[in-house]
Structure 1
Amino acid sequence: MTPYFRHVVLRASAPLAQEAWWAAQPLHTDLDLFLAAHLASPHSARRPLVVLGHPGAGKSLLTRVLAARLPVATYTAIWVPLRHVKADTQIHHQIEEALYTTTNGRVSWPALVEETADDTVRVVILDGLDELIQASGASQSRYLQEIEQFQEREMILGKPVAVIVTSRVVVADRVEIPDGSSVIKLEDFTDVQVNQWLQVWNATNRGTEGFRPLRPAHAIALPALARQPLLLLMLALYTADAQVPDLTEMRSSADLYGKLVDNFIRREIIKDAETPAGRGINVAKAVAPRRFQLAIAAFAMFNRGRQYVTEPELQQDLESLLGSAPQERRSFAEPLNHAAKMVGQFFFVHAPSADDGNDARGGLHRTYEFLHATFGEYLIAAAVMGLLRRLAERRAQERDEQAPYLEVLDDAKLCGLLSHQVLAGRASILDLAAEHAHHLRGEDLSGICAVIDELLRDIRTRTLTTTVRPEQGALPYDPSRNDASTRLAMYSCNLVALRLMLADTSGVPISCFADLSAWRFLVSLWRGCFDEDSWRAVMVLMTTEPTGPELAAPAPVLKLRGRDADGAEHDQRFYGFQDARLFADYDGLAIMRGALASWGGRSPANATDAEIHSRLLQFHHTANDDVPFEFDEARPLWADLSPPTRRLLLTALADEAPVLPLDTVRSFDDVLGELTDPRLLLPLAGIAAAHPAMIATLLPVMQRMAHRVHRRVGLAAAAALVGAAQLTTQQDEAAALRRAAAEIRI
């Protein structure tokens, strides 16, 4: 099923991660023709083609099909899965890695180029830029710029190469895409495409015993799931089993993933129960422990900032969180390793060989990763909500029993799992947690929110350890090796994010869990401990708004920040605005807004521009005698100044012109003669009024400007010149000023 798509040629910075922006772009249905035309164009060898899509949209499958369909007589396609190459190497080294794996070291990139130079077009497909970013933890903001440079070098050598890069939409704003690059976004299936897909699926499998078809109407009733190709396949596979609940009972993505995961776990347990060693297993009670084991695998990847985990790492995490597994085997066919036994059974995880180190026996470590990242995200969300619910139930039980005092909440396991990465960086985890909470009873949800508030109120006295189990000799759980301050920052931030996601649209008064001083302590802790990506993820997720009448006592409310927010204040250049909002520093926010207004909505062109601008603002808003401004020093820097700073400088020059020497004003002679901005008419009239000798230079400029301003502005400029004529004792100067006033009066 060929997906529909939207296409743009990037000409300037565009909000490629915003759904609303993409929805306004033209929709196309001829993806095959587009790709054929692109690869036949010389443009394909100059800039990369960027293919964006949501998880499960079919990006990887599209590139595999494209590589297979390209005629071998005219194209040489190299498919490079970026999650399996080193992130910090050059493009050609990453291609070399993929070729080495594919051909067992038989073909190198230079050799391939030489052999195909005259016969075919080389097409390099770099699949999964988002996974390269997330798995490596490295900044790849200039990765596409490096691809463009790689293509340029190959072109100069006479060996042109076309490059196609795939990525999730969500990270599109974290990379710099070269201007002129073609960018396409794969669209979700339409209802018609869902219907067509299911017709083929149902017809192909109708003869299978016990097969239950998926009705198009049932699938279309879940558009958020059915329109994603991979999730549609999951729906079809789930529905095919006539023994599971009907699809119409599902209410959300979390519900779907929960049923998919639990259904497969149940199948595996039933298989175990049919063996002699598994007799007596309570299938219903065994599902939750198995699900938590899978959640540990998901946390093992997430807490290390990767999309995969090695077998020794997973084994260590399982032992740290669950205790040591029995080492004896019942048969030689049974894995000795707890991790291999648990994760190897689960069909949502695959274990490619990875050359990431040798184990004690001299073999390569196996690595585990989910076939789709959303399964891991669901397991994390479900585990976190389960732990919070148990804490809330424990607290409710104590109150029901009218205990004389409430014990300190034992959140060691929750803290251990949530103190290594920020959930804000994986917003889908928070979305799934919110969906999970949506199905809870009101009192259960209120209890969870109360527990989070209690944990946050006590966060400053929290003692962090790496041991999450009370038994003596328990292994530490420390996948990230974060220091204590960073772990406290991570844990508190994740609790706040969860509290916010469980609230309604009115937000959460910060007073529920902290006073203003404690809140600012938390935000300062986050700012000091997080790397730039984590901090920006937090600022993108949440913000505060004042509710009190006084800025000094704002009574802030924590709210979700609009993910499609736009405008100057949401540009990456203005993260300071969101920084101040999150800190609930509304005085500082007002000051920054004033500064932004003085820049005309722009940022400084360079350090010199910023320095001159700030000095001019200080000069303008204080007593001029106290803070003198050296115009002679500023004049040589004119070329380095931005338009707002130039206007500010000329306004200051006009204000000070009566007390400045004529030579200082004349040093701006060539600059003044080239001005075109009509907003400078009044300052120029002020300079002419103070120094009539400048009229010959300024009059032609003022005449041009006078025709582009409101009549009142022209009259005000003329009035300034007439006023100066009345004050001067020099007849020739007075006459020149009156003639100039007549010329610019409209």
Structure 2
Amino acid sequence: MRSLGGTDPVLDALQSAGSAALPIGGVLEARNELVKVGIDLLAGWREWRPGSTWRSRTDRFEAAHAVLVMTAYFEALGTLDLPFAPSGLETPHGDGGHVWDLATPLCPAPHRPFAQAVAAVRGYYRALSGQLLAFVAELDLWARLDEHARQWTAAAYGDELVERAVLRYADRYRTLAEDVPELAYWAGIADHQPSLAGMAELERLISLVASGAALPERLATLDRLHQAALVRPIAETGDLPIGLRLPTLAQAYVTPRFRAAEIAPGDDPSVEEWWEGHELRADLPVFLSGFLTASAAGEVPLIVLGQPGSGKSVLSKVLAARLRDAPFLPIRVPLREVSATAGIQEQIEQAVHHLSGERQDWPAIARSANGALPVVILDGFDELLQATGVRQSDYLMKVARFQHREADAGRAVAVIVTSRTAVANRAGLPEGTVVARLEPFGTTAMRTWLEVWNAVNADYFSAAGLEPFTFDVALSQRHLARQPLLLLMLAFYDADGNALRRENRTLGQAELYERLMTRYAERALEMRHPREQVARLVERELLRLSFVAASMFNRGRQWATTEEVDADLDVLLPEQRRTPGLATPHSAGHEALARSFFVHRAQAVRDDEVLHTYEFLHATFGEFLIARLLASLMRELVAQESSLALTGVHDGLLRTLLSWATISSRLPVVAFLQELVHDADRWRAVVLRLFRELDAREDSSIAAYRPWIAGPHRRYAYYSANLMVLALSCAPELRASEFMPGHEDVVTEWRSYALLWRSQCALAEWQSLVDLVAVRPVWSQDDVRELHLKLSPQELWEPGPFSWSWAGVDKLLSIAQLRRQVMFSALADEGALLALYMDDLRTHQQAHRRP
């Protein structure tokens, strides 16, 4: 109350307590005065809402919320129809030790539904009422009440009082939020206009809370430079067809849907399932306005997550441009352009220098902000992690410590960090961190984006005799069109003779990807090479990209470093290591990826050295390239098999690439393979032959190719498992006897391979084999003589009933023998099965025990 300007004498009387714990009797006596002062203060919002600094304003908003919570409760208390008045309660023994803890609940927060804040207030009121009832029960008056009056009073001080107070709180909050926009932003109840393009809605909302103070000229220059991004093209691309135009950032940026939550210990925001319980929202401007006007913005960073191509970096540019009015001073820091080893303050100063050409130190920037809150936008935290090879980082902890230091120095600063979702679990998150994840486009966002694209390029379409890129055409490739950057890619492709419109009705996904990648490679190469060379160069380009995809796949990641890609290409394509030129040559890996629209390049600077990692904009791009490479190798092996001059096939490159990870762990690779099979019978025959001759042939793989350290037995396990899946990709069903060399009976040999795969493959990869390959025994009398195999994802089949004969057990082992085997093998699942078997056995014995 004092921070809002309250000077009533009743506050002086209560001030003597010196804390939030006040005697209940004293508070009740002052109840009417407290309500009057509280209502007057809340009504005087025009006097306390302005403030010279961001910190002073947020303190007053939180103080207003505390006054509102207490005023609503005491108002409700005065409306109860009780056998006595709450004021005037007297006891000869004082308060009997009863005090009220009046520390109010947290304010509503933009990452939580307002109903959750109301529920917290309800719980708080219930605790107050419990303390009040305990106090009343010790009064002399209580002893004079009959049982009916006591029950009535207890009910009144219980749920009735709580619900009346909650209704008053919610009504008064909404009423006050109509005058104080910050409170509306916190609760997510602001008057939202999502139709404003390019995140202009954020600028409108911020203007409602602007202080009107002007920034000094040096800081105003930063503001203007950030705003200049709004009139530039929305993306950087290669060569465009003559006449085709890119919309500007202000025109084409579509505000995405999102989910938001506060991180608790043990939470992992990199996991899809974790997000499913959080609300899908479409009010990102309101959420950001709420975060930036709450005190938490100066204490912990806001983490913005998203998939590659989801628009994280574009959002960072939009934020820097739209937070244009005080009380905010945005400073965008592209982490790929500053030193990865520098402190947060040094990174900010480097970014300011890169943007403006002026060197300004951070304390001077913060001091000259005229009370505005600096908002530092650290874009590309995932690039920092990947490019520097850091697996566990305290970078975000350093950000929080930087914020705490600045707050203690009177220079509060908010920080927003963007990162790829998949690496969100590789850095410690400060307690209380709020995380927002950008969601893919829905149908409304797709339509909005397409309307802008078609309007900007209407003249081009008309002059070229083309149809606009319509929603129906985009929807045919929905898995790509839901990501903004990939939707742009599809728009480029269709602008070349309406290619997507002509083909999407008949094309499979593999053929679409083939045409997309081929056409993009052609367009990049046609500008630099004679036309007769382009086809050969395109195939070489896609081959190198395929090896890059294999670099990621065989390391069990969705990304790879430049050094890893270069090492692999030096081994797999030694004749293409470098491209001669006058300038310092780039690495082969850099050349393979720098020209590709389909690859995202992460970058960081460490000790003046630029470090890079790469990943595909959509995981299926890399998975298609892996399947394409395997299909190409299969065609070569079939050609070898058909040649009379050769007695066998040379599978060295195939074995090299398939000895490090199971293709079953990437189901899209298997799906693409099935689509790319051309001569299924001959492909299958070659693969089955390779499998049967595994023990008779020398390992012909390239010895220098080593994505990770693995012995020959492990590589043998991976290669044999992949040959099985490769063969099944060519046939609806195969017999196990077609694979087995015939040294023992089919079931025994199959069991040997299954145990080999189980022991040598990573647990997740072994499980992917079990989930993908359905094994069905074929019975002959009372014995299993054959196994039928087919690719069938786990949700499409259920295994048949268990049989001891199928298990290959001639006689039951004793419990002691089973225990010894389980302990020796140290397999958790077998131990669990034994425990279940023991429980069932005890239950059976108890049920049949004689009296």
1:194 is matched with which residue? 446
Kindly indicate whether structure 1 or structure 2 has the higher relative contact order, using CA contacts under 8 Å at least 6 residues apart: 2
Q: Secondary structure at the match of 2:305?
A: strand
Give the equivalent residue in structure 2 for 1:377: 622
Match of 1:214 among 469, 482, 506: 469
Pair 143,537 (structure 1): closer, same or farther in 2 beyond 3 Å: farther
Give the drift of 1:171: 5.0
TM-score by length of 2: 0.51
Say if 1:418 and 1:214 are closer, same or farther in 2 by CA, change over 3 A: same
Q: Mind listing any 5+ residue stretches in structure 1 that lack a counterpart?
A: 359-363, 469-475, 528-534, 563-578, 599-619, 622-746
2:545 is equivalent to residue 294 of structure 1? yes
Deviation of the 1:61 alpha carbon:
1.4
Matches within 5 A, 1:411-426: 411-419=651-659
Deviations 1:684-714 (A, max 9, x none): xxxxxxxxxxxxxxxxxxxxxxxxxxxxxxx
Matched, 1:224 2:467: no
1:242 aligned to 2:493?
no
Say whether the 8 Å CA contact 1:125–1:164 is kept in structure 2: yes
CA contact (8 A) 1:6 1:186 kept: yes
Secondary structure, counterpart of 2:343 in structure 1:
helix
Q: Which runs of 5+ in 2 are unaligned?
A: 1-253, 741-748, 796-821, 844-851
Q: Supply the AA of the counterpart residue of 2:353.
A: T
Residues 432-511 of structure 1: matches in 2 within 5 Å? 432-441=668-677, 444=680, 467=702, 476-478=704-706, 480=707, 482=709, 484-485=711-712, 488=715, 491-492=718-719, 495=722, 499=726, 502=729
Q: TM-score, with normalisation over the residues of structure 1?
A: 0.57
> 1:390 corresponds to which residue?
635
Question: Which stretch shows the higher mean deviation, 409-418 or 317-326?
Answer: 317-326
| 8 Å contact kept, 2:269–2:275 | yes
- State whether residues 336 and 604 of structure 2, in contact with CA within 8 Å, keep that contact through their aligned partners in structure 1: no
Cα distance change on mapping 1:555 and 1:66 into 2, 3 Å: farther
- The 5-angstrom pairing of residues 104-503 of structure 1 reads 111=363, 115=367, 119-131=371-383, 134-135=386-387, 138-140=390-392, 151-152=403-404, 155=407, 159-170=411-422, 180-208=432-460, 209-210=463-464, 212-242=467-497, 244=499, 246-249=502-505, 251=507, 254-271=510-527, 274=530, 280-281=532-533, 283-284=534-535, 286-299=537-550, 307=559, 309-310=561-562, 317-325=568-576, 345-348=595-598, 355=605, 369=614, 372=617, 374=619, 377-378=622-623, 380-390=625-635, 393-394=638-639, 397=642, 407=648, 409-419=649-659, 430-441=666-677, 444=680, 467=702, 476-478=704-706, 480=707, 482=709, 484-485=711-712, 488=715, 491-492=718-719, 495=722, 499=726, 502=729
Answer yes or no: is 1:588 the counterpart of 2:831. yes
- The Cα shift of 1:452 comes to 5.6
* AA in 1 matched with 2:709: N
Question: What are the superposed Cα offsets for residues 704-745 of structure 1, whole Å, 9 maximum, x if unpaired?
Answer: xxxxxxxxxxxxxxxxxxxxxxxxxxxxxxxxxxxxxxxxxx
Aligned residues: 542
Partner residue in 1 for 2:290: 37
SS at match of 1:290: helix
Counterpart CA distance in 2 for 1:495 and 1:59 is 37
**Structure 1 residue 221: Cα displacement:** 2.9
Residues 434, 338 of structure 1: CA spacing in aligned structure 2 closer, same or farther, 3 A cutoff? closer
Residues 131 and 338 of structure 1, relative CA distance in 2, 3 Å threshold: closer
Q: Residues 644-655 of structure 1 correspond to what in structure 2 (within 5 A)?
A: none
Alignment partners' CA distance in 1, 2:435 and 2:639: 52
Contact 1:418–1:490 at 8 Å: present in 2 too? no
CA contact (8 A) 2:691 2:724 kept: no
1:523 and 1:583 in contact (8 A); partners too: no
The 3-state SS of whatever aligns with 2:504 is helix
The offset of 1:590, in angstroms, is: 1.2
- Contact 1:212 1:239 (C-alpha < 8 Å) held by counterparts: no
Q: Deviation of residue 433 (structure 1)?
A: 1.9
Q: Which amino acid aligns with 1:262?
A: T
Displacement, 1:236? 0.6
Q: CA deviation at 1:491?
A: 4.7
Classify 1:9/1:317 alpha carbon distance in 2 versus 1 (closer, same or farther; 3 Å): closer
Within the candidate set 500, 512, 515, 2:750 is matched to 515
Structure 1 vs Structure 2: percent identity of aligned residues?
A: 28
Partner Cα distance (1:252, 1:77) in 2? 46
Give the Å deviation of 1:337: 7.5
Say whether the 8 Å CA contact 2:688–2:727 is kept in structure 1. no
Deviation at 1:41, TM superposition (A): 1.1
Residue-by-residue CA offset, 1:461-484 (whole Å, 9 max, x unaligned)? 87657747xxxxxxx445x46354
Deviation at 1:51? 2.7
CA distance in 1, matches of 2:736, 2:679: 19
Q: Is the 8 A contact 1:348 1:375 kept in 2?
A: no
Change in CA separation of 1:517 and 1:260 when aligned onto 2, cut-off 3 Å: same
Q: Is the 8 A contact 1:77 1:125 kept in 2?
A: yes
Following superposition, the deviation at residue 57 of structure 1 comes to 1.9
**Following the alignment from structure 1 to structure 2, what is the Cα–Cα distance between the partners of residues 15 and 317?**
33
CA RMSD of aligned residues (A): 5.4
Query: Which digits, 9 at most, give the CA deviation of each residue in 1:33-90, with x for residues without a partner?
Result: 1111111111233344333333322222112211232237433445455667788x6x
AA partner of residue 389 (structure 1): M
Q: How far 1:126 sits from its partner (Å)?
A: 4.0
* Residue in 1 that maps onto 2:236: none
Distance 2:326 2:600 in 1: 34
Which of these residues, 86, 90, 93, is aligned with residue 343 of structure 2? Answer: 93
Summarize the Cα distance change of 1:537–1:367 in structure 2 as closer, same or farther, 3 Å threshold.
same
Q: State the distance in 1 between where 2:639 and 2:787 align.
A: 31
SS in 2 for 1:27: coil
